[in-house]
C-alpha cells in the first residue's frame, strides 16, 4: 500500500471483505457550494450510498495524507475551510504530501487515490473536459487524461455544460475511453438530460453496467469508463434559461482574464448567480442520483 495513503477503517473492512465501496470527491465540498450546505450535501450523498448497499469513501488530502474515506468531523472541517483548501489535481499531489498540506480532490486525484485503495466505482457531479475555445487556449482538463490511464468507473451527469461537450467526447474517443449512457443514447449535459451528442453505448440497468465494467477489467484494459447518468427530469433545467446563463458566464470569465484552476469555480458560481440559485439545486439533485446508481453498480460488481 502507498505509504502516504490512509484508508478509513470502515472502508478498509469493506474492501477486505469484498463489499461494495463508492468513492466520492471532496472538491464539491470545498469549492462546489457554500457552508453549511456543502457539508449537508456531502453527508446526504454518503447516506444515499449506504441506503443503496455500499460503503461511501469521500476522498481528500489532509495534512499531507491521502484519505480514502473521511469521518463526519473531517467533512465538517473541509466544509468550513472551503476554498482556502488547495484544489488538487495530479500535478499538485506530491507537493501537498511533501509539505503536509490539505488538498481538495478533483475527479483526477479522486480516481488516483481510489485506485491506490482498490476502489473501482466513483460517483461525482460532472467531469472536467475540453473548454470552449480550447483550440486557442489548450485548456483541457486533466480528468480526461486520468480516464485514459486509471481503471476506475466514473458515474456523472456528463461533463459540465460550461464546456465543449462535442470536443470532450472526441478527446475521450481518441484516448480509447468508453462513454456509456445510463438508459440513454444521448450524452447528458449536466443541468439538462440531453446534449445532442451520442454516447458510445447504452445500458439499461446498474447490473448491465457492472457486467460491462467487469469485462473491461478482466480484459486488462488500461483506462477507465465514463458513465453519463442523466439528471432526473423533475430537476432538469430549462435549456432556454440555463444556456444563456452559461454563455454570459463564459463571456465574463473571458473579459476578466480568468484561467486555469479558477475557471470552473468562477463559471459555476456565476451561473448560480444568474439562475437565482436554481443551478445549484439541480447540481445537488444530480449528485444524489449519481450516488444511487454508483452504489447499486458497485453492489452488482461485487457479486
Give the single-character DSSP code of 209: H
Are the C-beta atoms of residues 237 and 279 closer than 8 Å to each other?
A: yes
Catalytic residue, chosen from 25, 46, 76, 146, is 25
C-alpha cell at 230: 442523466
Q: Which phi and psi angles does 31 have, rounded to 5°? A: -120, -10
The rounded distance, in Å, linking the Cα atoms of 107 and 112 is: 9
Residues 6+ positions from 46 with CB-CB distance below 8 Å = 24, 56, 58
Helix (H) or strand (E) holding 146: helix 142-149
Residue 101 annotated as catalytic: no
Q: How far apart are CA 156 and CA 191, in angstroms?
A: 11
In degrees and rounded to multiples of 5, residue 195 shows phi and psi of: -110, -15
Residue 121 pairs with which residues in a beta bridge? Answer: 22, 153
Q: List the catalytic residue out of 160, 270, 272, 292.
A: 160
Annotated catalytic residue 270:
no
Using CA atoms of 242, 245, 246, 250 in order, give the dihedral in degrees to the nearest 10: 180
Residue 94 exposed, middle or buried by CB count within 10 Å (0-12, 13-18, 19+): exposed
Composition of the chain by helix, strand, coil, percent to 5: 50, 15, 30
Report the chain's terminal Cα–Cα distance, integer Å. Answer: 25
Q: Which residues carry out catalysis?
A: 25, 160
Amino acid at each position: 500500500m502507498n505509504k502516504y495513503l490512509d484508508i478509513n477503517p470502515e472502508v478498509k473492512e469493506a474492501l477486505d471483505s469484498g463489499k461494495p465501496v463508492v468513492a466520492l470527491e471532496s472538491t464539491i465540498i470545498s469549492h462546489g457550494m457554500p457552508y453549511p450546505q456543502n457539508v449537508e450535501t456531502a453527508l446526504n450523498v454518503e447516506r444515499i450510498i449506504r441506503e443503496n448497499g455500499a460503503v461511501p469513501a469521500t476522498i481528500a488530502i489532509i495534512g499531507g495524507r491521502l484519505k480514502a474515506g473521511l469521518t463526519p468531523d473531517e467533512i465538517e472541517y473541509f466544509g468550513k475551510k472551503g476554498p482556502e483548501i488547495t484544489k488538487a489535481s495530479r500535478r499538485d499531489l506530491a507537493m501537498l504530501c511533501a509539505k503536509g498540506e490539505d488538498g481538495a480532490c478533483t475527479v483526477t486525484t479522486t480516481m488516483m487515490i481510489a485506485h491506490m485503495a482498490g476502489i473501482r466505482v466513483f460517483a461525482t457531479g460532472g467531469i472536467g473536459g475540453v473548454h470552449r475555445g480550447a483550440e486557442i487556449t489548450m485548456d483541457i482538463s486533466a480528468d480526461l487524461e486520468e480516464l485514459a490511464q486509471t481503471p476506475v468507473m466514473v458515474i456523472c451527469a456528463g461533463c459540465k455544460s460550461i464546456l465543449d461537450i462535442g470536443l470532450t467526447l472526441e478527446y475521450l474517443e481518441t484516448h480509447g475511453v468508453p462513454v456509456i449512457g445510463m438508459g440513454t443514447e444521448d450524452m447528458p449535459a449536466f443541468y439538462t438530460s440531453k446534449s445532442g451528442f451520442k454516447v458510445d453505448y447504452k445500458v439499461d440497468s446498474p447490473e448491465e453496467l457492472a457486467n460491462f465494467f467487469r469485462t473491461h477489467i478482466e480484459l486488462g484494459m488500461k483506462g477507465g469508463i465514463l458513465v453519463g447518468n442523466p439528471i432526473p427530469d423533475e430537476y432538469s433545467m430549462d435549456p432556454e434559461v440555463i444556456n444563456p446563463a452559461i454563455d454570459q458566464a463564459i463571456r465574463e470569465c473571458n473579459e476578466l482574464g480568468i484561467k486555469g484552476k479558477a475557471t470552473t469555480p468562477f463559471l459555476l458560481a456565476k451561473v448560480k448567480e444568474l439562475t437565482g440559485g436554481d443551478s445549484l439545486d439541480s447540481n445537488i439533485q444530480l449528485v444524489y442520483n449519481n450516488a444511487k446508481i454508483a452504489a447499486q453498480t458497485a453492489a452488482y460488481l461485487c457479486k
